[in-house]
Every structure is written in structure tokens, then in C-alpha cells.
Amino acid sequence: MTREQRKWQHVELALRADARPETSDFDEVRLVHRSLPETAVKDVKLDTALGDLMLSHPLLINAMTGGSAQTGEINRELAQAAAETGTAMAVGSQRAALVDGRLQSSFRIVREMNPRGVIFANVGADVSLDDMARAVEMIEANALQIHLNVPQELIMPEGDRSFSGYLRTIEQAVTRLSVPVIVKEVGFGMARETYRQLVDAGVRIVDVGGRGGTNFAWIERERRGDGRYAYLSDHGQSTLVSLLEWQAAQASLVCVASGGIRHALDIVKAHALGAAVVGISGKALRAVQEGGAARLIEMIYGELDELRVLMTLFGARHLRDMQRVPLLVRGEARAWCIDRGID
């Protein structure tokens, strides 16, 4: 199977219902209601900063695809919606286009459709520093996402088997590239130990990429078709637990919350837990499948409207004010915190 075919299978499987559980750890978080918020919807400001990058609102269309004609069409729709709504957007892994120049157009389209937008390049931690710089240049990216997807690679029969040297590459990328580096998971989440390693490597921005939405352990198991590694389907930390671990690490990291974000209430909860930006992938893909860029534009504007309403409900004029809202964590996430000494 070619890399292009594999990427298309990822899209098809991500759209299948089993890839996305309906329940979420975010349901275990309760934000305390206040009866006198003393604010108004018109006073709400949604601008946020991801390190030095200023964004007009906190939504990010997170890394998905590119690398073939079909996926280039999806990128075109995603980019059109990003341009119209002023939403930051990441492309999917550019590795294939670094090897075969003919595939670059499916990524470049994202910049062509959105000349002034905030766009992130995306590669794995196994590519060379030169290739990282080429990936950035290919789409004139404002930042580079370096994805970490070890479980996915290991479940894939054709996946990588060696993962040493990643930290060193990340460290070099942070010091030598001309744009900020965001280290991201792809749905397996992060924990204190990882955050500390990343801080030591000089990383300033992480995308927790937690469990709870698109599930690559499930997707790769389906692709294998032999039922092996089924027990890894709930491997990793949920997005909520990854955020709680990030808080406990007290690391100087700016944080993107992503993985299974369903609606505006999940978004305000992520901000209450300290996230600066919130990424959506599977949900954006489904919107494009249902009704192209127009449907995604409608969805993004709808989420932003609801976000303003919910921030008003909790008395927050700026996203950072959400961090002052008292919250309770129950259930499995609470048990995790107790076991891990997080209070």
C-alpha cells in the first residue's frame, strides 16, 4: 500500500463512528455556576496568544491531511473555511511531499487559499532538520508542529520501530528553525514526564493531543484487520488528564488542548484548565464531508457564538478569565489525580 492510500484510509476510518466515543472525560469537569456574572456578551473578547503568535480566536483546525489529489481537495475546503473565519490551521504530515515534490501542491493549496492566515507545517520527529525547514518553507508556515505518534507507528505493520534521538531533533528544531515549534500528540495525550522532557529540550508550546476523539490505535487496528493490539484502543491519557498533568508539571509551556473536543462547553473547560488554544480535527473533517467549506464555516461561527455566550455565563471577558472559574473534577480523572499526587 502506498503512503497516499494509507492517508486516504485514515480519512475514511476517522469518519467512521467507532473512531469517536460519545462520552468524554470533559463530562467529569463541572464549572461552578455564578448567578451574578456582571458582564455582557458584547464585552467578550476571544483573542489569544500562542507564544508570540497572536490569534483572533482560540480555535485551531488541527493537522489532518494532504499528500494526494483527494486529500488536497479536503485541504482546499479546510483552508477556505480557515481563511473565511480567521481560524488557525495545521496541515497533515508533509513527509510524503518532502520525498516526492509532485505532492506539494496538496499542501501549498492551504497557503494559496489563505495568504494571510496563521498556518502550521507538520512533520514527525524522525525527519531531518533540513526537511523540517523545507516543510515550513513549502507553505510559508507560521509555526511547525512536530507530531509524536509512537503507538500508531507500532501498531502499523509498516510503521517505524525505532524512536531514539527524537528529543535531540526536537531540541535542534527549537533552536535552529526560524519559526516556533509546537510538539503535539495525535490522540494519546501527554503526562508530566513528557512535559518535563520537552521543557528540558527548550520547547515552549505543546499540543496535548489527548485520548477521547479520533483514535489512531483503533484506526490502525482496523487497517491491520487481524485484530491484534485491540487492547491498546484505550491506551494513553485523555485530553482532560493531559491538561491536569500539564498543570501539575507547572512547566513554562503554552498549551493547545486537542483530542475529542465536542462543543463550546468543552472549549471553555479547556480554557478554565489553562489552555491557550483549542484544536479540532475529526469534527472539522466531518463538517467538510457533510457540506464542504460552507458547513465548516457555519460550524466555526456557531462554536464562536456559543463560546461568547458561555464565557458570559461564567463572568469571563477574556479567555484567560476562565482560569478563575472554580471547577470540580470527578470520576476516573479524579482517581488518576489522586494516584498521581495531583491536587
Q: Kindly indicate which of the ranges 53-61, 106-114, 134-142, 209-217 contains the residues binding ligand FNR, using the contact rule CB under 6 A.
A: 209-217
Question: Where are the alpha helices (H) located in the chain, listed in sequence order?
Answer: 3-14, 69-85, 95-99, 105-113, 129-138, 150-155, 166-176, 192-200, 216-224, 239-249, 264-272, 282-313, 331-339
Q: Which residues contact 2 (CB under 8 A, 6 or more apart)?
A: none
Q: Cell for 221?
A: 487496528
23 labelled ligand-binding? no
6 labelled ligand-binding? yes
Residue 213 contacts ligand FNR per CB under 6 A: yes
Within 258-317, the residues that bind ligand FNR by CB under 6 A are 258-261, 280-283, 285
CA atoms within a 13 Å half-sphere pointing along the CA-CB vector of 255? 30
Minimum distance of ligand FNR from residue 197's CB (angstroms): 18
Site string for ligand FNR, 91-120 (x = CB under 6 A): -xx---------------------------
Residue of minimal CB distance from ligand FNR? Answer: 213
Answer yes or no: are the C-beta atoms of 25 and 333 closer than 8 Å: yes
Give the Cα-Cα-Cα angle 154, 159, 164 (nearest 5 degrees).
70
7 labelled ligand-binding? yes
CB atoms within 10 A of CB 100: 12
In terms of phi and psi (left: phi > 0; alpha: psi -120 to 50; beta: otherwise), the region of 75 is alpha
Q: Kindly indicate which of the ranges 22-30, 196-204, 243-251, 255-263 contains the residues binding ligand FNR, using the contact rule CB under 6 A.
A: 255-263
Q: Which is nearer to ligand FNR, 296 or 316 (CB)?
A: 296
Q: Cell for 36?
A: 451574578
Residue 169 contacts ligand FNR per CB under 6 A: no
Residue 87 contacts ligand FNR per CB under 6 A: no
63 labelled ligand-binding? yes
Instruction: List the binding residues for FMN.
Output: 63-65, 93, 122, 184, 214, 260-262, 281-282
Chain residues in the site for ligand FNR (CB under 6 A) = 10-11, 14, 62-65, 92-93, 122, 145, 147, 184, 186-187, 209, 213-214, 258-261, 280-283, 285
Instruction: List the binding residues.
Output: 6-7, 63-65, 93-95, 122, 152-153, 184, 214, 260-262, 281-282
